[in-house]
Amino acid sequence: MIFKELLQDMDRAQREMFRWMDAPLGQGAAFPLISIYRNEEGLLLQADVPGVGPEQVDISIANDVVTISGKVPGYGAEKEVKDSDQSAGGEGDANAPESSFSALRRERFSGEFSRTIELPVEVDSAKAQAKVKDGVLELILPLREERKPRKVSVTGA
């Protein structure tokens, strides 16, 4: 009985956490993986996008929902992957392209990606800033003015 309640609590906690997140991790993990930091001024969203440069990622914000999309370039973007039935490094016929390669092991994410994240606070999208460095995207999202904590001065009666 107690165990069942514990499971229900855990389920509820997980659903709470995922309420504002998109697809939960596990089957088909989302790309990119993100972290969210906050302070009084707003949020900082970090996303791991190794191999991706500033020109290869797009960010759009609407109604406090951020969409990060783009494409992780494949190996030698101008080359084509060899057919699987051709031997690796083999000669091929005279018409085959001069340089060709084959993939032996693929662990990294590749190709197009798009991830939507519902933010936990209201942000001022006009003041958002983004930069990409060493394969990490950093998105600064200031709080909307009226959402910032306000100090209230206390006067004597």
Candidates 6, 7, 13, 25: give the one binding another protein (CB under 8 A).
Answer: 25
Q: Please report whether residue 68 would count as binding another protein according to CB under 8 A.
A: no
Rounded Cα distance between 67 and 48, Å, is 14
Distance in angstroms between the alpha carbons of the first and the last residue of the chain? 56
CB of residue 85 to another protein, shortest distance in Å: 8
Write the binding mask 101 to 140 for another protein: x where contact by CB under 8 A, - elsewhere: xxxxxxxxxxxxxx-----x-----------xxxxx----
Rounded Cα distance between 81 and 113, Å, is 20
Rounded Cα distance between 35 and 17, Å, is 13
Rounded Cα distance between 57 and 86, Å, is 34
Binding residue count for another protein, defined by CB under 8 A: 50
Piece of the chain touching another protein by CB under 8 A; list 6-14, 51-59, 123-131, 148-156 = 51-59
Peptide bond preceding 32: is omega within 30 degrees of 0, i.e. cis? yes
Locate tokens 């370039």: which residue? 73
CB of residue 106 to another protein, shortest distance in Å: 4
Q: Please report whether residue 96 would count as binding another protein according to CB under 8 A.
A: no
Q: Please report whether residue 13 would count as binding another protein according to CB under 8 A.
A: no
Q: Cα–Cα distances in Å, from 127 out to 54, 62, 124, 139?
A: 18, 13, 6, 11
Q: Please report whether residue 52 would count as binding another protein according to CB under 8 A.
A: yes
Footprint on this chain of another protein (rule: CB under 8 A): 17, 21, 25, 28-31, 33-39, 43-44, 46, 48-53, 75-76, 84, 88-89, 99-114, 120, 132-136
